[in-house]
Amino acid sequence: MGQAMELLKERIRRDGKVKGTDVLKVDSFLNHQMDVELFAEIGKEFKRRFAGCEINKILTIEASGIGIACVVAQYFHCPVIFAKKTQTKNIAGEVYTAKVESFTHGRVYDIIVAKEFLGPGDKVLLIDDFLANGNAAKGIMELVKQAGAELVGMGFIIEKAFQHGGDELREQGIHVESLAIIESLDNCEIKIR
């Protein structure tokens, strides 16, 4: 395991805050305030894990995935597309759309990508901050399928193994890479695999 992942695990242990038995807050370095140097190490690690894969688009969902995806994309030398939540007036023309149930916010929302940015021939890597029950990932899979593009793999910073989204995705044959896998958050203790 790389130095980057030890660094990440150390940050989760030190700065992660547990709410209840299933919410891990990492907003001091990952998804509110962002440690860009850590992101660079994460980018290198994803490049290593998806080495040899043909990837020409990185896809994420707004908002918390964007910063990470942008840094990761520098190592793959390709653009980032972020699926927007809800229809906005300034997206012109045709869009792909899928529904996602948010674990964190407890509601269903639409994610959309303009057709001009994703289509057949695109080889897509999903990058996101968290993998919990896999709902966002399933929404992204639906968009990629509608576009006739190919989903090469999915990279997550933190996977909550006890919510089984990762198991479901791997059972479908998807190449999933999670940099830190959380076994449990019971008794406010972060157990990392």
How much of the chain, in percent, has pLDDT values that exceed 70? 94
User: Under a CB-based contact definition with an 8 Å cutoff, are residues 131 and 159 in contact?
Assistant: yes
User: Under a CB-based contact definition with an 8 Å cutoff, are residues 46 and 17 in contact?
Assistant: no
86-106 residue pLDDT tens: 755 566 569 999 999 876 677
Q: What is the mean pLDDT of the chain?
A: 92
Alpha helices (H) along the chain: 3-15, 36-49, 64-76, 135-147, 165-171
Out of 61-75, 82-96, 134-148, least confident range = 82-96
pLDDT at 17: 95
Return d(Cα 106, Cα 101) in angstroms, integer. 7
pLDDT at 104: 67
Higher-confidence residue of 1 and 140: namely 140
Is the predicted pLDDT of residue 59 greater than 80, yes or no?
A: yes
Is the predicted pLDDT of residue 108 greater than 80, yes or no?
A: yes
Higher-confidence residue of 43 and 4: namely 43
Return d(Cα 86, Cα 91) in angstroms, integer. 11
0.85 exceeded by pTM: yes
